[in-house]
Chain A
Amino acid sequence: MMGKQVEEERLIFRWFKRVGRKKISMQYHIDRKEFSTTTVESSLEVIPIKNPVINIDQQSHTNDKGNKNRFEVSRSDHKTDLEIGVNDSSDPPVLYSPETVIDSIEGVGNRDILKELQPIVPVYWNIPMPDLLEVFKQYPQYTFFPVVDDLMHPQGIIREQKLKKFVYSRFGAALLENPDLKDKLTDFIEPCTIVGVDDKSEEILKTYSESGTTEGIIVTADSKYLGVISLRSLVKMGHDRELNLQESHNRILEQRNKDINHILRNMKQGIFTIQEDGTVHHDYSVHLETLLETNEIEGRHYVDLLFQNANLEKDKLSQTRSVIENSMGEDVLTFEVNSHLLIEEYRICFSGERTKHIELFWNPVVDEDDIIRRFIVNIRDKTEIVTLQNNAFQQQKEFKIITQVLSITRDRFEEFIKSSNEYVESCIALLDENSFFEMSVIDHIFRNLHTIKGNSRLYGFDDLTNSVHDVEESVNQVRSRNAAYDSRELKSEILKVDSMLKEYIMVTEKKLSSFQGTKQKGVFLDNQLYSALTNTLMSEKLHNLPDSIQTIIKSKKILNALNTASLEDLFSDVGASLKSMAEIVGKPKPNLFITSNNIRIIEKISSILNVIIMHSIRNSLVHGIEDPQMRRALGKPAEGNIHLFATLTDDQFRVEYWDDGTGLDLKKIMSKALDSGLVKLNKPLHDRQIAQFIFCPGLSTTNDITEMAGRGVGMDAILKAIKSVEGSMDIIFLDKKDDSSSKRPFKFVLNFPGEYAQLLS
């Protein structure tokens, strides 16, 4: 019997051969590429092959023909040569040497194959038929033998079955003995699947399953016959393989599960699965418990879990439910066509007014038919992000305010805040006193707001300006409705302005606590005064007393002017906003011509003058100065020209203002006055009288409400301010006509008591 044995991890082949009367077991260790032999006592059968090509005789070293035919018995630690001999030249040479065969195996071959390999000694293709029968007789357990050629290349197998006609025939044996027998061995050889010892098991199994013969397969090494693997072994190989695969798959799966569980336990997101019945599966990420602040999760309905403490519009929840529950168990397209309706962000209210911003992601899981089997929901806590965003937004706002505040002096800012607060307070007081409808109250409030807005705009406080504008809008709506108003509603609108002012103050105090602007301790000696003083003193020659006295008088006068401003100073604020004002109305920046004649203006009226000049410039830009095309057509330069001219006599300080625009549109003013009921058409009026209408409140000759002029309040406020310091304001026409049907250029003449100004001689 031939067989194999696995010895520890070394794979060996074993052939059993009868040598004389002894049964020798020959082992070949593949790893060590060594032969060893042992004597076997058991009654194992051996091949008494009378095959002339194999003649093993222990004693003989060389046979008659002088060919090597040697077999030595040795211990396993010696190398053994085994050369099986070459016979008569009439017979084909046998080159079967297991050594050479196995030497040619590279590596150790496929372990699975080697484990199952049966190194059945093959028969040669030219074995005589009687000998073949003898072989079969000797080894009844084998129903086939592999056949090889001289070079040990497998030719196929020969099956016992095929020999039945000889076996069962009375003359069969005799027939076989006949050397002239037509039937040669080759006629009985059948093909057999041949594989290499290095082939992969799955390929071998595949090849066999496609075309294998039932007996098994032949294994070769380097195209030389090595052994056979029986069907049973193949099945075992297949089974083992499957077990191995399963095992490695299981290991992979186990590892994957471990990884997933690790993720579920540690990730900072909430993940859970909605099953077909709407309840939550027991596998979910641990963080979900932290997010939703509950550990009652498994088995709950997803709507209950997610939205129990949420403040949601009922509609949104119903839509989300519709999407999820309608598409569960349906084609994924149902989900896709509706997914925009899903809630993606919402707030949960916990006890104590604490809220969390939650972000939701819905992921359908489909089977191979694209039907949704469940949903994996991913939730994130966005509260921190939202808070950060709000903070960033708040910081940006404060930054804007700071930039705006820093663009003016501290003085001006405080003055602005003070006057704006006063305006706001007066509005509130008015509303408190008059809860019933009173047009004059509304007007007054409107005027106050408009003034605040104007100043705010002047200083570039954009946010405040916009805020006041909105409030103005709502008040204006009330005004045009001409019906009863809700004083509380108006009050709350005005308080918005108040809170905005407070914000500016707060930012200034918090962030700009050391903000002094350009005001330092002590007095401010501006350039004009400084150069006047130095020139006066430096030109003093000190050799003539009357001259020296004059110097002293002059110097005193200069020092007296320390708390005054020049006309140019008043314009310094204007300069920056001039450009942006012009841009708003789409006209080029106008040129300013100031003639101050060395006049210094007392502080008391300098702020009034400032406001007047600002307002006048605004009006010039909106109404007076034409757009550049029209100006060019009229032969004027594209930019408008604005003039300020100051003079001082003993009893009067006068400032004149004019622009080179179209002038007053007397026709329009007249019709507006008629519309507003300010005058009745009984007798024709002089242009001078018509011009006076511009000082009436509520008269605006433009219809659209812009941020600039056009509200019909400015001029009357200005007149009021001038009168409050005992001044007056006139309109003087610059041309000669007196026909009220066209526009007439004009100038404003402002007169103040002489004590409000002084000359710097």
Chain B
Amino acid sequence: MAKILVVDDSETVRHRLVLDLQAAGHEVIEAEDGVKGLQTLNSNQDTNIVISDINMPEMDGITMCSKINENERFKDIHLFVLTTEFDSDLKTKGKKAGVKLWITKPVKMAKLTAVIQKVLER
């Protein structure tokens, strides 16, 4: 059972993730871009995991993760990103920003929930 923040500008993707994660027993909050993501995180500091898309308006996912990673208060939050291809530049940036897990779309919920479980257990 974790508190998860889902950040994606596509409503369909976001809602699907939210519902599936809730069905798996987690508490889920959402935001539609990087800026709102940070705001939501500030008011929900007990969040454990952030799952974020990369390409979003206002602020992209990697930048958002980077800002979260810099903040002392949020250093224990696990950062997951949703990606569609392989891009070594992106990977390097992501690594620096503290991204822990790269999830390629389309997401298979069964696997995601299993991995979330493992991350929480560590």
**Are A334 and B102 also in contact (CB < 8 A) when A322-B83, A325-B88, A326-B86 are?**
yes
Taking a contact as CB atoms under 8 Å apart, the answer to whether B115 and A333 are in contact is: yes
User: Residues of B contacting A327 with CB < 8 Å?
Assistant: 102
Query: Contact mask B50-72 → A, CB, 8 Å, 1/0?
Result: 00000000000000000000000
A336 touches which one: B88, B106, B114 (CB < 8 A)?
B114
Q: Are A337 and B86 in contact (CB under 8 A)?
A: no
**Residues 319-358 of A at the B interface (beta carbon under 8 Å):** 319, 321-327, 329-331, 333-334, 336-341
Return chain B residues, CB-CB under 8 Å to A214: none
B2 CB to nearest A CB, Å: 14
B101 touches A341 (CB 8 A): no
Determine whether the beta carbon of B119 is less than 8 Å from that of A333.
yes
Query: Is there a chain A Cβ closer than 8 Å to B100's Cβ?
Result: yes
Chain A residues, CB < 8 A from B108: 337, 340
B44 within 8 A of A: no
Contact partners of B104 in chain A: CB under 8 A: 319, 322-323, 326, 338, 341
Contact check, B91 vs A326: say whether CB atoms are below 8 A apart.
yes
Q: How many residues of B contact A (CB 8 A)?
A: 21
Interface positions of B from 100 to 122, Cβ below 8 Å from A: 100-104, 106-108, 111-112, 114-115, 118-119
Q: Are A334 and B101 interface neighbours, CB within 8 A?
A: yes
**Quick check: A340 and B111 within 8 Å, CB to CB?**
yes
Report yes or no: A322 in contact with B101, Cβ–Cβ below 8 A: no
Q: How many A-B residue pairs have CB under 8 A?
A: 58
B84 within 8 A of A: yes
Task: Give bound CA distance, A333 to B86, whole Å.
Answer: 17
A261 within 8 A of B: no
Which residues of the other chain, A, contact B88 by a CB distance below 8 angstroms?
325
Check A333–B118 contact: CB distance below 8 A: yes
Return the chain B residue nearest A336 by Cβ: B115
Task: Decide if the interface of chain A is mainly helix, strand, loop or mixed.
Answer: helix
Q: How long is the Cα–Cα vector from A509 to B34 in the complex, in angstroms?
A: 72
**Are B86's CB and A322's CB within 8 A?**
yes
* B53 shortest CB reach to chain A, Å: 15
**Which residues in window 203-244 of A have CB below 8 A to B?**
none
**Which B residues touch A341, using CB under 8 A?**
104, 106
Q: Is A318 an interface residue (CB 8 A)?
A: yes
CA–CA, A623 and B104, complex, Å: 57
B84 in contact with A337 (CB, 8 Å): no
Most chain A beta carbons < 10 A, residue from B83, B100, B114, B115: B115
CA distance A329 to B103 in the complex (A): 15
* Interfacial residues of chain B within 75-97, with CB under 8 A of chain A in the complex: 83-86, 88, 91, 95
Whether A322 pairs with B91 at a CB distance below 8 angstroms is: no
Whole-angstrom distance from the CB of A721 to the nearest CB of chain B? Answer: 58
Contacts of B84 in A (CB 8 A): 322
Q: Is the CB of B85 within 8 A of A337?
A: no
- Residues of A in contact, count (CB < 8 Å): 20
Interface contact B101-A333, CB-CB below 8 Å: yes
**Residues of A contacting B83 with CB < 8 Å?**
322, 326
Contacts of B106 in A (CB 8 A): 341
Bound state CA distance, A150 and B114, in angstroms? 73
Q: Which residues of B contact A318 (CB under 8 A)?
A: 85-86
Complex Cα distance A619/B72, Å?
A: 81
Bound-state CA distance A330–B114 (Å) is 17
Question: Are B86 and A330 in contact, CB atoms less than 8 angstroms apart?
Answer: no
Within 8 Å CB of A340, what residues of B? 108, 111
Instruction: From known contacts A333-B115, A333-B119, A339-B111, infer whether A321 and B102 are also in contact, taking CB-CB under 8 Å.
Output: no
The docked-state distance in angstroms from the alpha carbon of A329 to that of B108 is: 22
Shortest CB-to-CB span from B118 to chain A, Å, is: 6
- Chain A residues in 8 Å Cβ range of B86: 318, 321-322, 324-326
Q: A318-B85, A321-B86 are in contact. Are A326 and B102 (CB under 8 A)?
A: yes
A331 to B103, CA, bound (A): 12
Chain B min CB distance to A7 (Å): 62
The docked-state distance in angstroms from the alpha carbon of A325 to that of B88 is 8
Q: A337 to B91, Cβ gap below 8 A? A: no
Question: How does the 8 Å CB contact mask read for A680-715 relative to B, with 1 for contact and 0 for none?
Answer: 000000000000000000000000000000000000
For A652-692 the 0/1 string (1 means CB < 8 A from B) is 00000000000000000000000000000000000000000
Nearest residue in B to A277 (C-beta to C-beta)? B88
Q: Which residues of A contact B114 (CB under 8 A)?
A: 336-337
What CA separation (Å) do A333 and B81 show in the bound complex? 13
Asked if B85 and A331 make an inter-chain contact with CB atoms under 8 angstroms apart, the answer reads: no
Within the complex, the shortest CB–CB distance from A72 to chain B, in Å, comes to 77
User: Within A9-60, which residues are at the interface with B (CB < 8 Å)?
Assistant: none
**Residue from B88, B104, B111 having most chain A Cβ neighbours under 10 A:** B104
Contact B111 A336 (CB under 8 A): yes
Q: Do the beta carbons of B112 and A337 come within 8 Å of each other? A: yes
Q: Is there contact, CB below 8 Å, between A330 and B102? A: yes
On chain B, the residues within 8 Å of A331 by CB distance are 100-101
Q: How far is the CB of A306 from the nearest CB of chain B, in Å?
A: 15
Closest chain-A Cβ to B21's Cβ sits at a distance in Å of 13
Instruction: Quote the shortest CB–CB distance from B83 to chain A (angstroms).
Output: 7
In the complex, the chain A residue whose C-beta lies closest to that of B99 is A330
C-alpha gap A326/B85 in the complex (Å): 8
B103 x A337 contact (CB < 8 A) = yes
Residues of A within 8 A of B107 (CB): 337
Q: Which residues of chain A are near B118, meaning CB under 8 Å? A: 333, 336
Q: Smallest distance from the beta carbon of B46 to chain A beta carbons, Å?
A: 22
Report the nearest B residue to A337, measured CB to CB: B115
C-alpha spacing A90/B111, complex, angstroms: 89
Which residues of B sit under 8 angstroms from A337, Cβ to Cβ? 101, 103, 107-108, 111-112, 114-115
Other A-B pairs beyond A326-B102, A337-B108, A341-B106, 4, CB < 8 Å = A330-B102, A334-B101, A337-B112, A341-B104
- Report 29 cross-chain contacts, Cβ distance below 8 Å, ordered by A residue: A321-B86, A322-B83, A322-B86, A322-B104, A323-B104, A324-B86, A325-B86, A326-B83, A326-B86, A326-B102, A327-B102, A329-B91, A330-B91, A333-B100, A333-B115, A333-B118, A334-B101, A336-B111, A336-B114, A336-B115, A336-B118, A337-B101, A337-B108, A337-B111, A337-B115, A338-B104, A338-B111, A340-B108, A341-B104
Write the residues of chain B forming the contact surface with A, with a CB cutoff of 8 angstroms.
83-86, 88, 91, 95, 100-104, 106-108, 111-112, 114-115, 118-119
Per CB-CB distance, the 7 closest pairs between chain A and chain B, nearest first, are A325-B86, A326-B102, A337-B115, A322-B86, A338-B104, A322-B104, A334-B102
Interface residues of A (CB under 8 A from B): 318-319, 321-327, 329-331, 333-334, 336-341
